Amino acid sequence: MAQHPTSRRKPTQHGLVAWQGMSFRTMLRFFRLRPPTHPLRACRVLNTVASSAVTSVLKRAEWMRFGRRVREVQLAGPPLFVLGHWRSGTTLLHNLLACDRRFTYPNLYHVFCPHHFLLTESLVTRLTARFLPEHRPMDNMPCGWSTPQEDETALCMMTLLSPYLMMAFFQRHEVYDRYFEMRDVTAEERARWKAALLLFLKKLTVREPKPVILKSPTHTFRIPLLLEMFPDARFLYIYRNPHRVFHSTMHLRRTVFDVNGFAPVDETDMEEEVFRVYEHMFHVYERDRRLIPPGRLHEVRFEDLERDPVAVLREAYEAVGLPDFTVAEPHIRAEVARMTGYRKNRYDDDPETMRRIYRRWRFAFERFGYPSGLPHVRRAARAAVDHTPDRPHRRAESGRKTTHARSAPEPAEAAAAECSGTRSRVA
């Protein structure tokens, strides 16, 4: 059984629910899909209905005022996409990149109110800022209207063509699965999704005419589609120790489903779903990353970013041809200083869960160069090193200075895993 954090507070968004950003027409389509509901969440349903009516009025008012500017504006430059699985460090990377004032980014208000933020952001954020929680419900990262956020939330509210429907449809994969890659959608759905993303980016550009930095793990599935829309886009892909990703993703799902769902969270098959989606994302990324032109993709190791963020970002800027890093460096250093003392969620690793993770995701451990963490494998690897005098000891993983994926684990480690029957399952 996957572990909960060893220290938990009751997750809350202080009444803020993602679905409040839908228009009235979209809300009707949403409830026709019949999300699971519970009488104790009736207020959340009513709140969503009422908010959608207000949103529709504000959407029309915004278009009357800003519609012409939105139609005519051109993007200030190709977007920069932050890719990677949930809980791999995408938020940290996005937050640091957003310190560069030559770029803009979607914030919490934009993604929760995508239909009218040009009209209402200035007033509403001032009036409601004090009601927001200090931290995000799933971790200890700061929360505020101006903090960088995932554009996928906005796309979900605008189109319902998003895997984030899973927040309300926990067990109904058929409702949202095809929206990961956007390959099995109709031509009309594909065109509507592309129009929504472009509209959202143009509205961000009207607000602040700068190139946009976007971070949504779901975009990792959509490299061909994003290149079709933005041939000159740049991509930063971040990865992390799969053990940490698994536990943190389980906690993320429990928390986000709870604060945004219309019924209590059903954890049946949740662990299997986390395994499945990670496997799907990994193989899609490995297949599609080769489509990105040279000099437009760079891979970042979370542990390196955490240890020396300035050096890692400097290398990333150079690798994908971003503007002079020295301009952004003072702002990034200031943000790093503000983050001092940040406390990550802690999880208790039980051997059985670790074995399941390694068995299912061994391909990721090998691709990214992480040790299995299994006690018997560690002992076998140490024994192999001890009996090979001419072979230098490997440096600790955390001590390596590179932001690219590592080579496969040591032969002794792989052999020990095979002998224990932990052959990976590849989806």
- Tell me the domain boundaries of the chain: 18-338, 362-388+398-419
- Kindly tell me the sign of the dihedral angle through the C-alpha atoms of 101, 332, 240, 384: positive
DSSP structural state of residue 413: H
Contacting residues for 143 by C-beta, under 8 A, at least 6 apart: 108, 132, 133, 134, 135, 136
Contacting residues for 410 by C-beta, under 8 A, at least 6 apart: 381, 384, 385, 394
**What confidence tens digit (pLDDT) does each residue in 37-66 have?**
999 999 999 999 999 999 999 999 999 999
Considering just the CA atoms, what is the radius of gyration of the chain in Å? Answer: 22
**Residue 394 predicted with pLDDT over 60:** no
pLDDT at site 414: 41
**Residue 137 predicted with pLDDT over 80:** no
pLDDT at site 426: 34
What is the number of alpha carbons within 13 Å of residue 400 lying toward its C-beta?
17
Whole-angstrom distance, CA of residue 343 vs CA of residue 251: 15
Whole-angstrom distance, CA of residue 106 vs CA of residue 109: 8
Beta bridge partners of 235: 81, 297
pLDDT at site 328: 98
**Amino acid letter for position 108:** L
Find the range with the poorest average confidence among 82-91, 227-236, 411-420: 411-420
pLDDT at site 3: 52
pLDDT at site 349: 73
**Residue 13 predicted with pLDDT over 50:** no
Beginning with the edge strand found earlier in the chain, give each strand of the sheet holding 234-239 in spatial order.
213-215, 80-83, 234-239, 297-301
Q: Is 141 exposed, middle or buried (0-12, 13-18, 19+ CB in 10 A)?
A: middle
Q: Give the model's confidence band at 170: pLDDT under 50 very low, under 70 low, under 90 confident, else very high.
A: confident
Find the range with the poorest average confidence among 135-144, 313-322, 383-392, 397-406: 397-406
Average pLDDT, the chain: 86
**Residue 421 predicted with pLDDT over 80:** no
Could you confirm whether domain 18-338 is CATH 3.40.50.300? yes
Q: Write the DSSP assignment of 98-127 as a string of letters.
A: TT-TTSB--BHHHHHSTTTHHHHHHHHHHH
3-state secondary structure of 335: helix
**What confidence tens digit (pLDDT) does each residue in 374-389 have?**
875 555 445 544 544 4
pLDDT at site 340: 81
**What confidence tens digit (pLDDT) does each residue in 281-292 have?**
999 999 999 999
pLDDT at site 395: 36
Whole-angstrom distance, CA of residue 298 vs CA of residue 316: 6
State the first-to-last Cα distance of the chain, in angstroms, to the nearest integer.
21
Q: Write the DSSP assignment of 363-394 as a string of letters.
A: HHHHHHT-----HHHHHHHHHHHHT-TTSPPP
For the entire predicted model, the pTM comes to 0.84
